[in-house]
């Protein structure tokens, strides 16, 4: 949830940063009007409550002195009715404000470039040289089918489009990647956690998926539960509505992820780039406000070094305002080189959400006697399927076989 106090302190900057994130200025004006109405109504209510307290004391004094209090009691009863009416109005305005605010994304950090879409993202650096082939490199789906690793036809038979069965050595390499990623992240100080793959609606609200992105979620209607789109959701919410004393918390988690991919029709229809079910090893951190930049850099380095250890060429991209996710204040994408597409494709997104998710999920920490909203961060380390694809394409041989990166050999 955005910090609504920013409307009061610096609305112009607040407005500018949210419009840069493609929020309709009309929606922001409605939010401002509602906020001001709630503020003035609360002030009116407080004044009436003060009058009520003052008159109640006056009634008590006059009653003890044997004075006539009938007229005063009438005033008191009338004022009480006004207080109740205003309290109901405040409750309705507060509920309406929170409902509108729940659809407003996080504001961007000051160093995030303004831009419309991925074409305006800023390249920060490239890591490793892209491979050169003395033959025409094949796409992963051709390699996977010829080796018997990827079975798209039977995946579709089981579950429909955008589902894939992985078999044989492909499945073994997939598992090796999961185990290696977990071990790598643990060596960098991230604690391994296992979490449920289904969650309550309020848990998805805590990290910002609900109510705005319900169409992208798979729902179990009978139980009012949802399949997770990423383990960021349950891992961050492990500490939902808690006051923490020992920060930072740095966690890593393996999970399957489920996304309906609403609105992605016609994009990446061949192969395993965009699936409804995929595996991911995630990094999640909960920090104090003054430590989140440091932890963000650690998470970016962890994911990038992991790719480097797998000998996969990649680049760091600072996302512009128009390409940022709903909850993110700042994101660096790591994009891996795919020879068949002759371009880099996203394989990890590391985001600092500042206190946006913590405000929704009520995650706080003690600072002296005060409770302060924590900062939450998350990032893929890595998307397993896309890493498998990248290894297949970058390590392919002229005879159609696939070499295995040295660090994975013991896991195979």
DSSP 11-64: HHHHHHHHHTTT--HHHHHHHHHHHHHHHHHHHHHHHHHHHHHHHHHHHHHHHH
Helix axes 384-394, 140-147, angle to 10 degrees: 90
Q: Which residues are annotated as a binding site?
A: 230-232, 259-261, 282, 346-349, 378, 380
How is residue 201 written in tokens?
């609606």
Binding-site annotation: residue ranges for ATP: 259-261, 346-349
Dihedrals phi, psi of 284, to nearest 5 degrees: -135, 135
Give dist(CA 134, CA 138) in Å, integer. Answer: 12
Cβ neighbours of residue 242 closer than 8 Å, sequence gap 6 or more: 362, 363, 364
Within the chain, how many helices (H) and strands (E) appear?
11, 16
- Residue 333 vs residues 116, 123, 387: alpha-carbon distances, Å: 16, 10, 14
Q: How far apart are CA 169 and CA 274, in angstroms?
A: 22
DSSP per residue, 134-163: SS-PPPHHHHHHHHT-EEHHHHHHHH-TT-
Pairing state between β 370-373 and 363-367: antiparallel
Q: How far is CA 380 from the centre of its chain?
A: 11
Residues flagged as binding site for L-serine: 230-232, 259, 282, 378, 380
Q: Identify the CA nearest to 245 among candidates 367, 375, 377.
A: 367
Cis preceding linkage at 72, omega within 30: no
The answer to whether 245 touches 364, Cβ cutoff 8 Å, is: no
């Amino acid at each position: 949830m955005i910090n609504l106090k920013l409307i009061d302190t610096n609305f112009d900057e607040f407005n500018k940063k949210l419009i840069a994130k493609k929020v309709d200025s009309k929606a922001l004006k409605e939010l401002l009007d509602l906020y001001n109405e709630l503020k003035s109504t609360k002030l009116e209510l407080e004044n009436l409550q003060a009058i009520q307290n003052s008159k109640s004391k006056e009634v008590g004094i006059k009653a003890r002195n044997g004075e006539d209090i009938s007229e005063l009691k009438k005033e008191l009863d009338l004022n009480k009715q006004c207080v109740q009416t205003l309290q109901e109005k405040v409750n309705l305005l507060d509920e309406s404000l929170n409902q509108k605010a729940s659809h407003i994304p996080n504001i961007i950090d000051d160093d995030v470039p303004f831009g419309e879409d991925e074409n305006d993202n800023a390249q920060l650096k490239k890591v490793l040289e892209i491979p050169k082939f003395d033959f025409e490199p094949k796409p992963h789906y051709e390699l996977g089918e010829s080796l018997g690793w990827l079975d798209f036809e039977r995946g579709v038979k089981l579950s429909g489009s955008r589902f894939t069965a992985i078999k044989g050595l492909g499945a073994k390499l997939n598992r090796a990647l999961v185990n290696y990623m977990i071990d790598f992240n643990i060596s960098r100080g991230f604690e391994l956690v296992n979490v449920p793959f289904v969650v309550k609606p309020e848990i998805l609200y805590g990290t910002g998926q609900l109510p705005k992105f319900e169409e992208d979620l798979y729902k179990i209607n009978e139980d009012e539960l949802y399949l997770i789109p990423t383990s960021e959701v349950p891992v961050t919410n492990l500490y939902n509505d808690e006051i923490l004393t020992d920060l930072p918390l740095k966690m890593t988690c393996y999970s399957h992820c489920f996304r309906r991919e609403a609105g992605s029709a016609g994009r990446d229809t061949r192969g395993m780039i965009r699936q409804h079910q995929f595996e991911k090893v995630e990094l999640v951190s909960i920090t104090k406000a003054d430590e989140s930049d440091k932890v963000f850099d650690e998470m970016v380095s962890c994911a990038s070094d992991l790719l480097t250890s797998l000998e996969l060429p990649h680049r760091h991209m600072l996302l512009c305002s128009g390409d940022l996710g709903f909850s993110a204040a700042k994101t660096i994408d790591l994009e891996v080189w795919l020879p068949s597409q002759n371009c880099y494709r996203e394989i990890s997104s590391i985001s600092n959400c500042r206190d946006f998710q913590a405000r929704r999920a009520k995650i706080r920490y003690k600072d002296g006697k005060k409770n302060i909203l924590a900062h939450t961060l998350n990032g893929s380390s890595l998307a397993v399927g896309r890493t498998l694809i990248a290894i297949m394409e970058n390590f392919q041989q002229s005879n159609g076989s696939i070499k295995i990166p040295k660090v994975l050999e013991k896991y195979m």
